[in-house]
Amino acid sequence: MMKYLELYKGRGITISNAKDQYAWDKDGNKYLDLHAGYGVAFLGHRNQKVVDYLKKQLDEVMALTTAFDTPIREEMLKELDPLKPDDMPFVFLLNSGTEAVEFSLKIAKKLTKRKKLIAFKNSFHGRTAGSLSVTWNKKYREPFEPLVGPVEFLDYNSLDSLKAVNEEVAAVIVEPVQGEGGVIPADHEFMKAIREITREKGALMIVDEVQTGFGRTGKVWAYQHYGIVPDVVASAKAIGGGFPVSAVFLPNWIAEKLEEGDHGTTYGGNPLAAAAVTAAAKVLKEDSVPEQAATKGDMFIKMLSEELEQYKIVREIRGKGLMIGIDLRVNPGLAIKVIQDEKVLSLKAGLTTIRFLSPYLITKEDMEWALDATRKGIIATESKANSS
């Protein structure tokens, strides 16, 4: 019998249905999903507007390249316009976050005619060759080297480390909040310093908003917390409302320097992807999603902090909006398992962090459910640590 290649550790449950912020296993048990497919389901599982747009598009045209115009792409551009990153009127659709990063790196090398890239320790940008080259985790990267380079990894949130950015650098790529690395928000001074030194040295500032973008942190784009405007924004996950799609946003001065053939994609920008992005953009505006994420995120972080910081193994609770990390002093594996046993789905970040990527639909009652589950997970972990 055919077998699926297991490259992810199984969670031991079979999910048969999901809606909004909830999922159900094959036995009918209900879960609060704060994993959300690595954050893809930020607008909720099977968001009705996204589903309706996809169904309608399926009845019209499904497979078509962007060499042909389509009404849904025009509608998508109209809906995205008020949400686009500052001064970036151009967008190019791809299929995944790693592809968006790949294209961004190619743009930097073409425009600057330089080869060197700067990334940061604990960064995660993807698993294909280019994006993997700027991903810090050696477990992911080293078995496949040599990759794309040269790449230098600097200390995140270190102003002093930015002295390494010089006239040989094509781009500095940065996450406004490191997700895989431990849910670590960038400092204001750090982001501003990156913007200043890249301008000074003629390098591009690429902001990786694959996980942070499209409302999750309380702004449409997380870089907007910092009062800067980058050169390139790479986005994915939430922007498709659950459908696999990514986007690279560009200003005029970059778009006008790109030529036919500089990049390509068979599936990118297909009508279904355009329909999903159109619907997601409508939801973001009509439901004031970034504002909800900001308010609910503040509430959730406050609840977690008040109840959990009393435990010795809890080092810090941090995040922006509904991108939240509970950093422990030990491996969080047992805590995540207990949390799942309590019917709440979460995921690991970095070496010691429990990560919540909540759909914006989360309620106060959901937060209390998650808090109770997390408390039990931390107590079990602390008990084990004390007995060993």
Binding residues: 97-98, 124, 127, 208-211, 265-266
How would you class 34 by CB atoms within 10 Å of its CB: exposed for 0-12, middle for 13-18, buried for 19 or more?
A: buried
Beta partners for residue 93, in sequence order: 247
CA angle (381, 385, 388) in 5-degree steps: 140
How would you class 1 by CB atoms within 10 Å of its CB: exposed for 0-12, middle for 13-18, buried for 19 or more?
A: exposed
CA distance 387 to 383: 6
Of the candidates 106, 324, 115, 139, which has an alpha carbon nearest to the alpha carbon of residue 234?
106
Q: Which residues fall in the annotated binding site for pyridoxal 5'-phosphate?
A: 97-98, 124, 208-211, 266
Per-position b or e across 114-153, b if 16+ CB within 10 A of its CB: bebbbbbebbbbbebebbbbbbbeeeebeeeeebbeebbb
Work out the end-to-end distance of the chain between its first and last CA atoms, rounded to an integer number of angstroms.
43
Report whether 320 contacts 213 (CB < 8 A). no
Q: Which residues fall in the annotated binding site for substrate?
A: 127, 265
Beta partners for residue 119, in sequence order: 153
Of the candidates 121, 235, 183, which has an alpha carbon nearest to the alpha carbon of residue 346?
183
CA angle (118, 93, 289) in 5-degree steps: 90
Q: Which amino acid belongs to residue 28?
A: G
Q: Which 3 state secondary structure label does DSSP give 332?
A: coil
CA distance 44 to 284: 12
Look up residue 36 and give its two tokens: 């959300």
Q: Which 3 state secondary structure label does DSSP give 374?
A: helix
CA distance 101 to 204: 13
